[in-house]
């Protein structure tokens, strides 16, 4: 279990929540009684004072005795905010930042995106155990997941293969269950990582129309970078790779096909690793015009 933001947020939620509950159920009553006792204790010293002065002295004594310790005040003040952030981030949506160009032209380096965390089911925070199944990923979905090789790192790719599918990527062409996925040329795109123009193509996966980048003239060597689970389901050749997707797993690829480290290299994504479906760009400080939904 890594000490990531989700775990820190959970600890803050539990600590502030316990203090808030104790304050509501126990501490406030004790402070009120202490304030009333302090107010009553100064009564003999109030003789001869005006009504306004007596009232002021009683209130002052009450406030001093009933004042909450600083740690109780902080926890009680921050708990509603932490509760809101915790619930929003754990069960509804979570923000992510695109760190690379592997999903060009769909997503660019620097895009700040939102991920729907309930569409595929409700999971317990931190341990990510699914407790309420609501749906399953579909072909063409853009998903954020924990990188199987190093689960502490979040990746974002597009789902190409579903459980039971046979995926073939040969000579820069994708085949799903023996059917070629058609690629229609749509001009060129400047790829900033390699400082060159490469071909942009329209592609349809399931119900999703999107664009990919492929350099048909350049060779691309594919090989396993790790001895991943179900490695025996994949066969590598000089011109591509063929894989049978195991149950409970998905085959993912980046839209920037020549510049993406994905299932072609490290295998399949277990369902338990999927964080959610990416669906909205909420900011890009370099290009604010990119704000909006994507496919």
State the Cα–Cα distance between residues 208 and 41, nearest whole angstrom. 75
Catalytic residue among 102, 117, 172, 263: 102
Is there a cis peptide before residue 105, judged by omega within 30 degrees of 0?
yes
3-state helix, strand, coil in the chain (%, to 5): 30, 30, 35
- The Cα-based distances of 247 to 18, 244, 268 in angstroms read 42, 10, 10
Long-range contacts of 282-287 (CB under 8 A, 24+ apart): 282/95, 282/112, 282/113, 282/114, 283/112, 284/108, 284/110, 284/111, 284/112, 285/110, 286/110, 287/108, 287/110
Catalytic, 157? Answer yes
Catalytic residue among 39, 157, 172, 263: 157
- The set of residues, in sequence order, having a beta carbon less than 8 Å from that of 87 and lying 6+ positions away, is none
Catalytic, 102? Answer yes
Catalytic residues: 102, 157
């Amino acid at each position: 279990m890594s000490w990531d933001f989700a775990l820190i947020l959970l600890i803050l939620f539990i600590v502030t929540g316990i203090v808030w509950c104790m304050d509501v159920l126990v501490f406030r009553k004790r402070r009120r009684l202490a304030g009333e006792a302090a107010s009553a204790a100064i009564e003999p010293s109030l003789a001869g004072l005006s009504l306004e002065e007596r009232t002021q002295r009683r209130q002052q004594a009450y406030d001093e005795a009933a004042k909450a310790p600083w740690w109780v005040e902080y926890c009680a003040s921050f708990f509603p905010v932490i509760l809101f952030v915790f619930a929003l981030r754990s069960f509804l949506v979570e923000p992510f930042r695109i760190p690379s160009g592997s999903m060009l032209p769909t997503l660019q380096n620097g895009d700040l995106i939102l991920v729907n965390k309930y569409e595929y089911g409700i999971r317990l925070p931190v341990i990510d155990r699914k407790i309420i199944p609501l749906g399953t990923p579909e072909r063409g979905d853009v998903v954020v997941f924990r990188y199987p090789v190093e689960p502490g790192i979040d990746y974002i790719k597009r789902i190409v293969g579903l459980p039971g599918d046979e995926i073939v990527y040969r000579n820069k062409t994708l085949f799903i269950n023996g059917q070629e996925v058609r690629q229609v040329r749509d001009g060129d795109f400047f790829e900033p990582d390699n400082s060159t123009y490469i071909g942009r193509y329209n592609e349809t996966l399931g119900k999703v129309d999107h664009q990919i980048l492929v350099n048909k003239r350049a060779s691309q060597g594919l090989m396993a970078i790790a001895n991943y689970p179900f490695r025996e389901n994949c066969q590598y050749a000089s011109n591509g790779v063929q894989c049978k997707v195991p149950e409970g797993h998905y085959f993912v690829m980046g839209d920037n096909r020549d510049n993406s480290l994905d299932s072609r290299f490290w295998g399949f994504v277990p369902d338990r690793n999927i964080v959610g479906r990416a669906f909205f760009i909420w900011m890009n400080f370099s290009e604010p015009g990119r704000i909006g939904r994507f496919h």
